[in-house]
Structure 1
Amino acid sequence: MSRLLYIKASPREERSHSIAVADAFSEAWKEANAGGEVVIKNIFEEDLPPFDGFRVQAKYNIMHGKEHSAEQKQAWEEIEKLIAEFKSFDRFVFAVPMWNFSIPYRLKQYIDLIVQPGYTFGMNETGYFGMVEGAKALTVYASGGEYQEGNPLETFNFQSTYLRSVLGFMGITDVIEIEPRGTLMDSREANREQALGEAREIAKTF
């Protein structure tokens, strides 16, 4: 049975273009996958632990077999639990608005927590390799302007370029992108309707 993790990275909910498209996708995916499970993770409502100095030191002490406190062990186990949850899914959908040409800070915090050596990526004599195997992802990118490939503003796009890279780093290379961009432009409704149609169609075979 496939399991889909739906990561909402926008706090705007019903006003969010990325969430509207990702909602349509997840609903169509459920219809096409009888018995499939969809779990929604709204990272603006999640109690994500800070990846601060205390937790970084806990990570190094535990992973390097050094002495550590019970508090450090508990703090690292909180992060391990997040990683295990993420890796228990084989399908992902991300609803991601563009903030200052990149991704929302809460999504970056979540990524910083789960991208850990020995858990979601490894290293050997030839370099890095991903450890999240056999997974697929759909990423929905919304932005006020147009930043697609070939657009004069594409060099400002650190949104899709970053998320695509970090997913691939973890081993998730089968990624489909939908871009309801231009949400502050006259073309926004047409772009949104096109993205909704694409999402529902992709869901049938995802």
Structure 2
Amino acid sequence: MPKLLHMICSPRADSESSAGARVFLDRFRQRRSDWDFDDMNLWREPLPEFDGAILDAKYARIGGRGFSTAERDAFAVAERLAMRFALADRVVISTPMWNFSIPYKLKQWIDVITQPGLTFRFDPAQGYLPLLKDRPTLLIIASGSDFATGMNRGRVDMATPYLREALRFIGVRDVQVVLIGPTAGPTAAIEASRTLAHRRLEELGARF
């Protein structure tokens, strides 16, 4: 059964990014009733701190030595998280923009799964090579500023290019982005941006 993984990166159930994801997923489910849906809420998922045994395991991989028992157990957690992503045929990442970039939980997930021999490898002749297969991936990014039209009031969107590059590094290049914003300020502007983004998300849900 094909699978869609939805990574929920906002701690607020009523967030703009989560609302946009629901619009997309409702439409997607109408067309793909035979799919399996996996919701990964990064605020409820037990993500390991990237220190101690799991950090030692990374450097064991880099140094070409075997794992200790503690390192093997710690690395197994990263393997399970990476496999959950790797098994998905489609991925949706819905996230707010925090301080120009992404929430720390999403960054923590990226740091945990981006491991040598797991999601990438290094070849002396070719450099860094991804280990995951490409798959259609949708980024839904909500922000207080309007990055969709360029009326961003001097703020810089570092979330979109960072996520594109982090995904490309492990093998995912087929990435589409829907920006929702502004989510703060005059009500008319918020509602207009929401309507436009939801319309696009519904259209994507029908053909993603």
Asked whether the two chains share a fold, i.e. TM above 0.5, the reply is yes
Supply the AA of the counterpart residue of 2:160: S
Over aligned residue pairs, what C-alpha RMSD do you find? Answer: 1.9
**Normalised TM-score (structure 2):** 0.90
After TM superposition, list the pairs within 5 Å mapping 1:1-206 onto structure 2.
1-14=1-14, 16-61=15-60, 64-66=63-65, 68-124=67-123, 125-148=125-148, 150-151=150-151, 156-186=156-186, 187-206=189-208
CA distance in 2 between partners of 1:90 and 1:154 (Å)? 37
Residues 45-87 of structure 1: CA distance to partner in whole angstroms, max 9, x if unpaired? 1111111133111232256453543222111111111111110
Between 43-52 and 151-160, the greater mean CA deviation after superposition: 151-160
Cα distance 1:200–1:149, how it changes in 2: closer, same or farther (>3 A)?
closer
Q: TM-score, normalised by structure 1?
A: 0.91
Q: How far off is 1:40 after superposition?
A: 0.4
Identity level (%) = 35
Structure 2 Cα separation of the partners of residues 105 and 127 of structure 1: 28
Most deviating of 75-84 and 135-144: 75-84
Name the SS of the counterpart of 2:65 in structure 1. Answer: coil
Instruction: Flag the 1:62–1:54 CA change in 2: closer, same or farther, 3 A.
Output: same
Question: Which runs of 5 or more structure 2 residues have no equivalent in the other structure?
Answer: none
145-154 vs 173-182, greater mean Cα deviation: 145-154
Q: What is the distance in 1 between the residues matched to 2:135 and 2:29?
A: 17
Q: Note the C-alpha offset of 1:172.
A: 1.1
Question: Structure 1 residues 67 and 131, CA, compared in 2 at 3 Å: closer, same or farther?
Answer: closer
Contact 2:100 2:155 in 1 (8 A): no
Distance 1:153-1:170 versus aligned 2 partners, 3 A rule: farther
> Secondary structure in 1 aligned to 2:207?
coil
